[in-house]
Amino acid sequence: MELYEAWRGGDQRAGAALFRQHYDTLARFFANKVQPEHRPELVQRTMLACVEGKERFEGKSRFTSYLIGIALRQLYKHFDRQRRTRERMDYGTVSVADLDPSPSQLAAKQDEYHVLLMALRQLPVDYQLVLELVYWESYTAAVIAECLGIPVGTAKTRIRRGKELLREQIEAVALNPALMQSTVSNLEGWAAQLRERGLTKP
């Protein structure tokens, strides 16, 4: 928060340090939701929106929660641009795979890492969001609720239901029972290793 207050007071070096501190979080947020060529632009758009709205952040929540909230809005805007329609999308039912069905590199590889990434993409966006914040950032339901602007009870429900749906999708995308069982039995472990590997790096 000290960096943010210094930046808000006009210290540009503090602002640069603040964004360096949170860059990896933003990169992970977009990593399994959009194609690689779009990720740097979305990180940049998020940071720009944060700069433009810095006076609106009053410090009542975590700065990271504020930043993730902006990233979420940029993600939705990206999906809207891709679809070229003003029709409101129900992110409780539609998945990233529906909106951007082109990660052939994931389908081509069958190990626990790629099965987990591919299964996450098959979930409705609302559930993918909360699970990736749990797995990639180790966020609690309370922090996720703060990020997404939803009640804590709703966040807990999405986490629980999301894990149920994730197991179903892993069963659907894994090519053999042994791979399915290996992935499901150690979800947190595979997710932690994915985070260390940079999520989508081979």
**pLDDT tens-digit readout, 179-197:** 999 999 999 998 888 888 7
**By CB neighbour count within 10 A (0-12 exposed, 13-18 middle, 19+ buried), where does 50 fall?**
buried
The C-alpha angle 200, 163, 159, rounded to 5 degrees, equals 100
Q: In sequence order, what are the residues at sequence separation of 6 or more whose Cβ sits closer than 8 angstroms to the Cβ of residue 142? A: 152, 155
pLDDT at 119 over 70: yes
CATH topology of domain 1-85: Rna Polymerase Sigma Factor; Chain: A (1.10.1740)
pLDDT at 201 over 50: no
Q: What CA–CA distance (Å, rounded) separates 35 from 13?
A: 31
CB–CB of 133/165 below 8 Å?
A: no
pLDDT at 202 over 50: no
**pTM of full prediction above 0.75:** yes
Helix axes of 125-137 and 112-122: crossing angle, nearest 10 degrees: 140
Across the chain, mean pLDDT equals 86
Question: Tell me, what's the pLDDT at 110?
Answer: 67
Task: For domain 92-202, say whether CATH 1.10.10.10 is its number.
Answer: yes
Domain borders along the chain are 1-85, 92-202
Asked if the domains 1-85 and 92-202 are classified in one and the same CATH topology, the answer is no
Q: Determine the 3-state secondary structure of 59 from DSSP.
A: coil
**pLDDT tens-digit readout, 20-47:** 899 999 999 998 899 889 999 999 999 8
